[in-house]
Each structure stands twice: as C-alpha cells, then as structure tokens.
C-alpha cells in the first residue's frame, strides 16, 4: 500500500467529506459508540475544526482515496513549559486496517509536533480497544502510568 499523508484542506469539499466520513465510520463501530454521528454534528464538524486555533488534521490517502484521519490539538505542558500535541481522534476505515495507515498517521503527527517544538504526544484510548492500544504501544506510547482521563459532559 502506497500511502500519502497530508494536512487536510478545510476549504476542499473532498477533504471535508473525507474527515466526516471516516470519523462517522468509526462512530458506528462498537468502540466508537455504535451509532452514526448526529446530522447536526456532521454539519458543524469541519467548520468548527477550521475555526479552532490549535487544530491539526491529517488525512491518509491510498492513491486518491482517503483511508484514515488523525485529529489533534496543540496544548501546553506546564511542567515542561513547552507545547504538546494531543491526538484526539485516530481513525482508519475498517478495510484499510492492518496496512500501516495508523502508524503512518502517528509518524506524521509526531513530525508536526517535533517541528513545533512539542515535548510530547498524548492521546486517549478506550481500555476495550485492544487493537488501538497495541498500535500505540508499538509506536512508543506508555500505558503504564496511573493517569486517568476523566470526563464531565456539559451538554446533557
């Protein structure tokens, strides 16, 4: 598989559709919640990403077909006084898993983070998502810390 990774162009309708389609595909899987993204979310997603000041969206293509996406946000480590990159979403279409797409997206995200002077990459992963956890461990992410990612919904 010959992959090409590049930053998404939010003004390009094909890129916008690829972002929404790939994330919606993941949302419909059991680890993604088992339901499609609501229509209003699909409509607001790309404009909201485009307007977010710290976003990084990378798309993976096989030939001209989008097969994966990484959505990250630059933050800041107060303990290191340097930026960091949190990979909020990493999704690969089911038919293209196991072909190196996730690793290629992680490598590209790391390259962007290093260019920006980031001290670390962070991400969250469900304990039940064993495939993703294995990929992240192979890539060098450490899941042995006692940290927990807590969530308090504000829109319910």
Domain boundaries, the chain: 3-139
> Is-contact 16 57, C-beta < 8 A?
no
CATH for 3-139, options being 3.40.630.30, 3.10.20.30, 3.40.720.10, 3.40.50.300: 3.40.630.30
Mean pLDDT of 122-142: 80
Q: Is the pLDDT reported for residue 144 higher than 70?
A: no
- Residue 85, CA distances (Å) to 24, 43, 48, 99, 122 in order: 23, 26, 18, 24, 6
* pTM, rounded to two decimals: 0.90
Burial class from Cβ neighbours inside 10 Å (0-12, 13-18, 19+) for residue 50 reads: middle
- Structure-token match 């469900």, residue found: 126
Burial class from Cβ neighbours inside 10 Å (0-12, 13-18, 19+) for residue 73 reads: middle
> Average pLDDT over the chain, rounded to whole?
92
Mean pLDDT of 105-128: 92
**pLDDT on residue 124:** 83
Percent with pLDDT over 70 in the chain: 96
Phi, psi torsion values for 83, nearest 5 degrees: -70, 165
């Amino acid at each position: 598989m010959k992959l090409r990774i590049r930053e998404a162009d939010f003004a390009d309708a094909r890129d916008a559709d690829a972002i929404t389609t790939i994330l919606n595909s993941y949302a419909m899987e059991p680890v993604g919640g088992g339901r499609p993204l609501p229509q209003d979310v699909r409509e607001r997603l790309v404009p909201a990403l485009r307007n977010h000041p710290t976003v990084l969206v990378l798309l993976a293509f096989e030939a001209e077909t989008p097969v994966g996406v990484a959505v990250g946000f630059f933050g800041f480590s107060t303990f290191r006084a340097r930026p960091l990159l949190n990979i909020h979403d990493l999704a690969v279409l089911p038919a293209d898993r196991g072909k190196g797409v996730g690793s290629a997206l992680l490598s590209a995200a790391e390259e962007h983070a290093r260019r920006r002077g980031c001290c670390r990459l962070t991400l969250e992963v469900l304990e039940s998502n064993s495939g993703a956890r294995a990929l992240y461990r192979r890539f060098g992410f450490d899941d042995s810390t006692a940290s927990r990612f807590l969530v308090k919904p504000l829109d319910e």
